[in-house]
Amino acid sequence: MNAAEQRPVPGAGPGSTGGTPPSRDSGAPGGDGGRPPRRWVKGMIIFLLIAIPAGYLVISAIQSRNGGEDKAESAVAKGLTVGWPSRVQRRIYDVPIPAYSADVAFYETNSWDTSRLYAQFITSREGLDRFLARLGTRPSALAKGEVTISAKEAVKVGWHLGSGQDWSGMVLKQKDPQPVVKITVSGQHAMHPKVYVVSTVTP
């Protein structure tokens, strides 16, 4: 055997057969140099995937609840709505506001056993006559000095009703299921009376 054949192969140890040296990563789990996998990272990812959507659900529920409460408080604080009740409301509550009325406003309340429509408007003497005629009554039915709308009802919508001979009122009681209509009229401006109405429907 010559010298070339006896020369050791670089990097070959005892029992080596030569060739490519074995990889340092050979047999290592995950190919990361023998380091154990970071299980806490996987756990954190799973936790976030569960916790974040749950957090959004909680926040959404709180916002929804608060939004409902805010709307309810706003409705109470708002009181009268400037404008005309719908035709359906006027028909149901029997409040035929005459044409060309001014300062028209209304407010509706509903509960399981009672519904009410509060309405106000300024009209002419002829308009008042037409309003009462459509209800089947007449101006002579208005009792002088009578305010038929209670203080509790007036406070509900911020009305400040007076007393004395400038005021008159009546309560129109009708057969069920027609509403009970309370009418109070301010005659402080004789040519332009202001009419206040509370109509109650009991199903």
Predicted pLDDT of residue 37? 56
Predicted pLDDT of residue 27? 45
Query: In what order do the strands lie in the sheet containing 102-110?
Result: 81-82, 102-110, 115-122, 194-201, 180-186, 167-172, 143-144
Determine the Cα–Cα distance for residues 120 and 162; give it in Å rounded to an integer: 15
Predicted pLDDT of residue 56? 41
Phi, psi torsion values for 182, nearest 5 degrees: -95, 130
Nearest to 85 by CA among 197, 192, 186: 197
SS3 at position 186: strand
Low-confidence ranges of the chain (pLDDT < 70): 1-38, 40-42, 44, 47-78
Predicted pLDDT of residue 138? 94
Burial (CB < 10 A; 0-12, 13-18, 19+), residue 180, is middle
